[in-house]
Amino acid sequence: MRAALRGANGASDLVYHVDARTGAILRIEDRMKHQVAPATGTGMGTYSGAVEIPTSLMADGTYALFDTTRGTRPNPYLSNFTPDESGWGATGMQAWYEEHDAAGVATGNAWLFQSNPVNTWGDGQPFTAWGQEGGANGQSAGVDAMHGMAGAWDFFLNVMGRNGMDGQGTTVFAQVLETGSYNRDNASWSPWYNGLFLGAGSWPGNPNGLSALSEFDVVAHEMTHGVTSSTVEFTNAPGYEEAGLDEATSDFFAQMAKAYAGRAAEDDPAKVPATGADWRVGYQAGHGTPIRWMDRPSKDQRSPDGWYDGLLYLDGHYSSGPLNRALYFLAHGASTTAGADDFSVYMPQGMTGIGNDKAAHIWFVTVTERLYSGNTGTVTYAEARKQAIEAAKNLYGFGWDCPESIAVENAFGAVNVGRAYGEAPRTQVLFADWRDNDWIVRNHFSDTGYGHKQYLPMGVAVQPKITVLNNADTSVTWSTGGPSVYNTGLTPGMLGYVTGGGVINADGAWVTPLEKGWFAITATSKADPRQFAEGRAFIINMDADGDNQQDAVDLGPIAFSWYLTQAVNPAHSMFNAPIVDDADVAAFVDAMRSTWWNK
């Protein structure tokens, strides 16, 4: 059967292949050759539901999830492939899928969502159709990805004036339904590919897993990593506070993009609406349980609601908690109702927010113009607060204090980063560098490398060192372990694994564990229990002569071993130290000093 039609996307010469027995349409071909042209498809996403999505009418008369209106420079990864006769190219936003066989085993191939004759996409159902990713069920993830990418792109372009994630209009693509061990329950941004990789999820087979990672705020979160990776260049690794700043920035702008994408027709297209953000990340992919809550991060039982010294030990997805909450407070304010999700123990008097649009502009200027790491890990929460205050002053106060800059101070104060506007200095508990220049630091013990770390003897009552500022009462309560013990996801033997151990005596001394390795310990201010710090201690076996005592006699064997090995290397020494180089001796000096702390 053949029909000549003229539709919204131009003339078509359609050939229908019909099953003569049942009358079912087997496929439709368009015999008329076309130039690739922008089109608008009708999509049914798993999460987005019924939405219009940008597509293209290809040269063969079918459609693809390929948007030539967003992206003026070719994608660096897709440029490695040769354009085909369909009109596909490396320029223009697009959605791909990872191909699997019927058993769900990845084939190693990936394909553009293409060859759709009617420009209607997806069935809106969770993905189950292995081996048919390009069909309606798999298309639902592609619909969500295109909807999210277009929404994030338009938010940054129309509200922030940024052309693409890198500001240069470089094409972004998404590959959905990934099943690799890292990607399946994950989503990631690749600065080398300038693209997103979105997992297929492992639920319901894995009751603790996620559904497909193509939800709008997940997609927009990853797109934002494209912005920060080409501007501030945060380091995203435990051991740096900026890992949390990185993740929270993506969470926040994902919410702003979601609010913008859901704006009403009468809303200003250059502003973020006051409503439309739900401040939950991955609520749908988590099938009702968010991956993160921004108004009260601690609801996940892993993320802190406020800053403390030692936050840097957490994975960035958890150390993001204080900034997520600060940006929520900046936009919407904090409650005076104790126990409410938007109540802060650091600001029980509450605060008034300045709205989504102003909060978004302040933080965008902060991370794209005022902060820069270059992957050095040097950006801290304190520096982020300082620069956000200055950004607010420059945007809204002509360089002076203004309601917006005061709100920034209050929002950060509400998560214990600095103090609120006009407030007296707060008590601070710090694991500071306490070496007092007694050792010529070098190699790994340079500058900040010694912060938060102490070296102590094994099985001895010691007094860890701590600094308490801005309070006449400098006494602390010690406890073993700390928040990072539960939030690393590591197991014994893995690099970076830490645990609690030993016993705290009534006099506050810590009887260290009878085990070598890294341990966490926490000090909490007695005067202000809201303030605490978590540090690290490396426990060293100082009983060099094997008499079950730690005494001065042990110094001889230690020196002898040092002379023989020139380094305290577990491979050829009786000791075990964290660093195998000349600086190891500093650890032993500290541990030996700590042996007689109360003498």
The kind and range of the H/E element at 180 are none
State the pLDDT at residue 554: 72
Span(s) in the chain for CATH 1.10.390.10: 258-423
Among residues 222, 124, 128, 125, the alpha carbon closest in space to that of 177 is found at: 128
Question: Which whole number is the average pLDDT over 199-207?
Answer: 95
pLDDT of residue 465 exceeding 90, the answer is no
Kindly report which listed range (63-72, 131-140, 546-555) carries the lowest average pLDDT score.
546-555
Please check whether residue 510 is in contact with residue 504, taking contact to mean a CB–CB distance below 8 angstroms.
yes
- Residue 171 gets which letter from DSSP? -
Question: Which whole number is the average pLDDT over 18-46?
Answer: 74
State the pLDDT at residue 579: 42
More confident residue, 581 or 107: 107
Is residue 269 classed exposed, middle or buried when 0-12, 13-18 and 19+ CB atoms within 10 A define those classes? exposed
For the entire predicted model, the pTM comes to: 0.89
pLDDT tens, residue by residue, 309-321: 999 989 999 999 9
Task: Tell me how far apart the alpha carbons of residues 484 and 584 are, in angstroms, rounded to a whole number.
Answer: 25
pLDDT tens, residue by residue, 356-379: 999 999 999 999 999 999 999 999
State the pLDDT at residue 291: 96
Angle at 226 between CA 379 and CA 177, to 5 degrees: 125
- Residue 4 gets which letter from DSSP? E
Is residue 105 classed exposed, middle or buried when 0-12, 13-18 and 19+ CB atoms within 10 A define those classes? exposed
Question: Which whole number is the average pLDDT over 588-594?
Answer: 70
Mean pLDDT of the chain: 87
Please check whether residue 307 is in contact with residue 297, taking contact to mean a CB–CB distance below 8 angstroms.
no
Domain 258-423 has CATH 1.10.390.10: yes
State the pLDDT at residue 250: 98
In this structure, the dihedral spanned by the alpha carbons of residues 160, 163, 164 and 165, taken in order and rounded to 10 degrees, is -50
pLDDT of residue 238 exceeding 70, the answer is yes
Among residues 568, 573, 456, the alpha carbon closest in space to that of 510 is found at: 456
Percent of all residues in the chain with a pLDDT value above 70, rounded to a whole number: 82
Q: How many CB atoms lie within 10 A of CB 20?
A: 6
Question: Which whole number is the average pLDDT over 473-492?
Answer: 82
Q: Omega before 297 cis (within 30°)?
A: no
State the pLDDT at residue 444: 37
* CA 85 centroid distance within chain: 40
The token duo for 462 is 């010691």
State the pLDDT at residue 65: 98
Task: Tell me how far apart the alpha carbons of residues 140 and 284 are, in angstroms, rounded to a whole number.
Answer: 14
The length of the chain is: 599
pLDDT tens, residue by residue, 517-567: 889 999 999 999 999 999 888 888 777 777 777 777 777 666 666 555 544
Q: How many CB atoms lie within 10 A of CB 568?
A: 25
Span(s) in the chain for CATH 3.10.170.10: 37-230
3-state secondary structure 419-447: CCCCCCCCCEEECCCCCCCCCCCCCCCCH
pLDDT of residue 597 exceeding 90, the answer is no
Question: Which whole number is the average pLDDT over 450-474?
Answer: 84
pLDDT of residue 488 exceeding 60, the answer is no
Among residues 198, 266, 190, 276, the alpha carbon closest in space to that of 229 is found at: 190
Matching residue, tokens 């506050």: 508
Percent of all residues in the chain with a pLDDT value above 90, rounded to a whole number: 71
Task: Tell me how far apart the alpha carbons of residues 220 and 213 are, in angstroms, rounded to a whole number.
Answer: 11
What type of residue is 70? R
State the pLDDT at residue 432: 61
Matching residue, tokens 């123990």: 345
Q: Long-range contacts for 399-404 (Cβ within 8 Å, ≥24 apart)? A: 403/354, 404/354, 404/358, 404/362
Task: Tell me how far apart the alpha carbons of residues 161 and 520 are, in angstroms, rounded to a whole number.
Answer: 45
| pLDDT band, very low/low/confident/very high, at 456 (cuts 50, 70, 90) | confident
- Residue 116 gets which letter from DSSP? B
pLDDT of residue 324 exceeding 70, the answer is yes
Among residues 141, 161, 138, 159, the alpha carbon closest in space to that of 149 is found at: 141
Provide the CB-side half-sphere exposure for 120 (13 A, CA): 3
Please check whether residue 275 is in contact with residue 38, taking contact to mean a CB–CB distance below 8 angstroms.
no
Q: Which residues contact 359 (CB under 8 A, 6 or more apart)?
A: 327, 330, 331, 353
Question: What is the helix, strand, coil percentage profile of the chain, to 5?
Answer: 25, 20, 50
The CATH classification number of 37-230 equals 3.10.170.10
